[in-house]
Amino acid sequence: MPANLIDELDPEMAAHVRLLQGGAVPLATSTIEEIRAGARALRARWPRGPAMHSVEDSSFEGQRFRLYRPTAAARLPAVIFFHGGGWTLMDIDTHDAIARGLAEASGAALLSLDYPLAPEAPFPAAIDACQRFTEFVAEAAVAFGLVPGAFGLAGDSAGANLAVAVALRLRDAKRARPRGLCLLYGAYDSDLERPSYQRYGTGELPFSRARMEFFLHSYVPEPAQQRDPLFASLHADLAGLPPSLLLVGSHDALFDENVAMAERLRAAGNAAQLKIYPGAIHGFIEAARTVGAKLARQALADCGAFLAETLGNPEAG
């Protein structure tokens, strides 16, 4: 019988966890600037993602964004990607390899945004910025060399939370509608009492209940807002959303709310697939870069196939 949670993991995931532990910056004794710098420094040492036909940085409302084109096609469907990091950490550089991987797997152009971070920009500032950026990209599709109307939203962890919030906002505003949502181990609630938190959020694995509490207090400092359906989207009216693919590792503190979110999406009349990756942790897609983990590479392929199908992309494959 496994002596600890790491022994329960897929062996490649266990190796990835040890790499993360070697570069961890303690939350309790570090400033937000030190935590951000540590996250950037750790990922700067990892191998780069796949080559692209072109990569271009630009600016929207003072925030950086990056456009990846995996092929030379004149017009491509688009994936608008929101990075994870608990709404407080990370940027388009820490998630460059993930963005490249999703662009390669889907065959679509991918746009990644440096949305404003908490605590400097608390809820709902990131949602506001991501919605405006999405509308900007949809309206400027021809100028970007994109297929008009053929876009999807994707995000990992906090980025998946933002993708759902933007989809809800666009639905209610009757604005440009994404064709699909690719949601990697998203955060959909403020309830930290679920069994998966009790089992996998103890601190033995990199993503813990204490870490989520830090993120919550940074991004949504007002307790009443922690039940706002744009944050706790598990409690939102989810009717009328596009097809969704939800991916989660079996050993993720957010496992239970991902299962619940898939069920809620289906109950609201939406097409929603849930894929569970045995022996994988929260944030496991990064392991494609660190140790070439098969589970992480499979997740990228699954996302790519879903996005290509929902976006109608003949270039994928």
pLDDT, tens digit, 9 for 90 and up, residues 75-119: 999 999 999 999 999 999 999 999 999 999 999 999 999 999 999
Q: State residue 156's pLDDT score.
A: 98
User: 5-311: CATH homologous superfamily?
Assistant: Alpha/Beta hydrolase fold, catalytic domain (3.40.50.1820)
Q: State residue 3's pLDDT score.
A: 66
Evaluate if residue 23 carries a pLDDT over 90: no
40-63 tens-digit pLDDT = 999 999 999 999 999 999 999 999
Contact 50, 101 (CB under 8 A): yes
Mean of per-residue pLDDT scores for the chain: 96
The 3-state secondary structure of 81-142, one letter per residue: EECCCCCCCCCCCCCHHHHHHHHHHHCCEEEEECCCCCCCCCCCHHHHHHHHHHHHHHHCCC
Average pLDDT of span 157-176: 96
Q: State residue 1's pLDDT score.
A: 37
Evaluate if residue 314 carries a pLDDT over 60: no
How far apart CA 153 and CA 285 sit, in angstroms, is 17
Supply the residues annotated as catalytic: 157, 252, 282
Among residues of the chain, what percentage have pLDDT more than 70?
97
Q: State residue 317's pLDDT score.
A: 39
Residue 92 token pair = 């388009």
181-184: strand order across its sheet: 54-60, 63-69, 109-113, 76-82, 146-156, 181-184, 244-251, 272-281
Among residues of the chain, what percentage have pLDDT more than 90?
94
Q: Is 277 helix (H, G, I), strand (E, B) or coil?
A: strand
**Domain edges within the chain:** 5-311
Q: State residue 313's pLDDT score.
A: 60
3-22 tens-digit pLDDT = 699 999 999 999 999 999 98
Q: State residue 26's pLDDT score.
A: 83
Average pLDDT of span 198-211: 96
List helix spans (H) across 140-247. 158-173, 195-200, 209-219
216-269 tens-digit pLDDT = 999 999 999 999 999 999 999 999 999 999 999 999 999 999 999 999 999 999
Average pLDDT of span 292-315: 92
**pLDDT tier for residue 27 given thresholds of 50, 70 and 90:** confident
Q: State residue 2's pLDDT score.
A: 56
Average pLDDT of span 127-131: 98
